[in-house]
Amino acid sequence: MTLFSNLYLFCAAVTIINLVPVAVLLIVLRKAQNKKANLILSLLLLCLAGALLSDLLDHTYFFRQYPQLLGYEGLLLSAVGPLLYLYVLYHTRPDMRPLPAHLLHLLPVALHFTILWDFFTGDSTTKLVYVKQQDWGAIPHNEAARHLLKVLLLLYGIASYLLLRHRRVIRELASSVKDQQLQWLRNLLLIMIGLSVVWMGISLFKQAGYLIGFGMLFFSYWIAYHAVRQKYLFEPASMTAILPLIQEEPEVRYRTSTLKAEDMRGLMEQVTQHINETRPFLEPNLSLTSLAEQLQLTPNSLSQVLNEGFGESFYKFINRHRVQESQRLLRDPAFRHYSMLGIAHQAGFSAKSTFYKVFKEVVGCSPSEFISRNK
C-alpha cells in the first residue's frame, strides 16, 4: 500500500472509533428533547461509519470469506443524504411526526440497488473474482452508481440547507436562542456539502483520496463535541398552531385571519397590560406558545398582533422589553455591583452575547457605553 492509502485507512479507523460511540450515545440519551432527530442523526453516523468500515475490510480477507457482502457501503451511503434532510426537518419542525411521504426518501437506496441489480443478485463466485482482482470498475454500472451517489449527496445537502430557514422561524417562535444553537445545523450542512465536494473531486485526482480521510476525521471529532450538547430549538407545541408560522411567509400568513382593526387594538392593549403587569419577558425560555397560553390566544393570533400591530417579530418584541429592563437596572444604584452577565440574567437574557447584540441594536450603543453616558 502507498503512503496515501495508509493515511486514509488510519483516518478511517479513528473516525469509526469516534462515530460509533457518539451514535450510540445519541440513541440512549434519556434527557434529549428531540429524540426523533437524535435517532436520525445516529443512523446517519452509523451509515458513515459502516461505509468507512468497508474500506478497512477491503484490505483484509473479510470479503474473500463473505463475498455476498461486497458493495454494501453503497447502500449505506445512499441513505446519508435522505437522513441528513430528515434530521434538519425533524430538528426544526415542532412535533413533526413520521409521515408515509417520508418513505419516498428511501428511493435513493432503492435506485442504487436497482442500478447494481445484477451485481447484488449475482453469485458469490462472480463477486469473489472482483475481490481478488480488486477491479471495481469491471462491475457493471458501478461507476454510474457511484457518480449518482455523489450527486445525490450533494443535492440533498443543498436541499437541506435551503430547508433551513432557522433565523426567521426562531424570531417568530422563540425569544432566546444562543448563537451556537443557531449555527449548529448550518455548520453541519456546510461540512457535509464540503465532504461531498471533496469526494466528487477524488475521482479526478486519485492521489487526493486521503483528503476525504482527513475530512472525515475532523468531522468525527467535531460531531462528537457538538452533537450531544445541542438543545432542541422549540418547546413541544401543537403542530396545527405552529405550522402556519413556519411554512407561510409573513405576507400570506394572516390572509385568512378574522381579526378586525378594533380587535387588533384591543389585543394590543391586552398584550401591553400583560407585559407590564406580569413581566413574562424575565423568563429566559419564554416562547410564543407559552405567552399565547398566558394571554389565552392562539399562537397565530398573537403572532399577527405582534407583527402587524406592534410591527415586530416575537423575538424583537420580547427582547426590546428585556433591553428596557436592563437599562433600568443599569441606572439603578442598587445593581451597580452586578456584572454585565448578572444584569443580562436579571433582565431575562440567557446569554451574554445575545444581551450585547440586542442591546446595541435597540439602544445604539453597548451596555458599557450606556453606563458611561448615564453617570
Q: Which pLDDT tens digit goes with each residue over 25-64?
A: 888 875 555 678 888 989 999 999 999 999 899 888 888 8
CATH code of residue 21 = 1.20.1070
- pLDDT for 103-135, tens place per residue? 899 999 999 999 999 888 888 888 888 887 777
User: What angle (nearest 5°) sits at the alpha carbon of residue 58, between those of residues 53 and 62?
Assistant: 90
Q: Is the pLDDT of residue 270 over 90?
A: yes
pLDDT for 239: 44
pLDDT for 304: 84
Question: 193 CB contacts (<8 Å, ≥6 apart)?
Answer: 154, 157, 158, 161
Domain assignment present for 236? no
* Mean pLDDT of the 80-94 span: 82
- The pTM for the full model equals 0.65
Residues 134 and 177 in one domain: yes
Residues 170 and 42 in one domain: yes
Residues 172 and 317 in one domain: no
Q: Is the pLDDT of residue 210 over 80?
A: no
Q: Which backbone phi and psi does 174 adopt, to 5 degrees? A: -120, 150
Number of separate domains in the chain: 2
Residues 264 and 208 in one domain: no
pLDDT for 247: 47
User: In whole angstroms, what is the distance from residue 105 CA to residue 109 CA?
Assistant: 8
Q: Looking at per-residue confidence, does 39 or 179 come out higher?
A: 39
Residues 44 and 163 in one domain: yes
Domain assignment present for 241? no
Residues 197 and 53 in one domain: yes
Least confident segment among 234-248, 300-314, 328-342: 234-248
State the pLDDT confidence band at 365, using cuts at 50, 70 and 90.
very high
Residues 270 and 213 in one domain: no
Chain mean pLDDT for the chain: 81
- Quick one: angle between helices 166-173 and 179-202, nearest 10? 160
pLDDT for 78: 93
Question: 195 CB contacts (<8 Å, ≥6 apart)?
Answer: 212, 215, 216, 219
Domain assignment present for 244? no
- pLDDT for 311-361, tens place per residue? 888 888 999 999 999 999 999 989 888 999 999 999 999 888 889 988 999
Domain assignment present for 239? no
Q: Is the pLDDT of residue 97 over 80?
A: no
* Mean pLDDT of the 284-312 span: 86
CATH code of residue 368 = 1.10.10.60
Please say whether the beta carbons of 348 and 325 come within 8 A.
yes
Least confident segment among 77-81, 175-179, 328-332: 175-179
Domain assignment present for 114? yes
Residues 222 and 273 in one domain: no
Range of the domain at 124: 3-226
Could you give the C-alpha distances from 1 to 6, 7, 213, 214, 362, in angstroms and in order? 7, 10, 16, 18, 62
pLDDT for 173: 62
* Mean pLDDT of the 162-187 span: 62
Residues 284 and 182 in one domain: no
Q: Is the pLDDT of residue 141 over 80?
A: yes
pLDDT for 256: 62
State the pLDDT confidence band at 232, using cuts at 50, 70 and 90.
low
Residues 322 and 368 in one domain: yes
pLDDT for 42: 92
Residues 99 and 192 in one domain: yes
Domain assignment present for 85? yes
- Quick one: angle between helices 35-57 and 3-28, nearest 10? 150
Residues 107 and 9 in one domain: yes
The single-letter code of the amino acid at 50 is G
Q: In the chain, what percentage of residues exceed pLDDT 90?
A: 25
Domain assignment present for 8? yes
Least confident segment among 152-166, 203-217, 360-374: 203-217
- Quick one: angle between helices 179-202 and 142-163, nearest 10? 160
Out of 184, 204, 226, a domain closes at 226
Domain assignment present for 337? yes
Q: Looking at per-residue confidence, does 192 or 232 come out higher?
A: 192
The 3 state secondary structure assigned to the chain is: CCHHHHHHHHHHHHHHHHHHHHHHHHHHCCCCCCHHHHHHHHHHHHHHHHHHHHHHHCCCCHHHHCHHHCCHHHHHHHHHHHHHHHHHHHHHCCCCCCCHHHHHHHHHHHHHHHHCHHHHCCCHHHHHHHHHHCCHHHCCCHHHHHHHHHHHHHHHHHHHHHHCCHHHHHHHHECCCCHHHHHHHHHHHHHHHHHHHHHHHHCCCHHHHHHHHHHHHHHHHHHHHHCCCCCCCCCCCCHHHHHHHHHCCHHHHCCCCCCCHHHHHHHHHHHHHHHHHHCHHHCCCCEHHHHHHHHCCCHHHHHHHHHHHCCCCHHHHHHHHHHHHHHHHHHCHHHCCCCHHHHHHHCCCCCHHHHHHHHHHHHCCCHHHHHHHCC
pLDDT for 312: 87
Question: 177 CB contacts (<8 Å, ≥6 apart)?
Answer: 170, 233
Q: Is the pLDDT of residue 1 over 70?
A: no
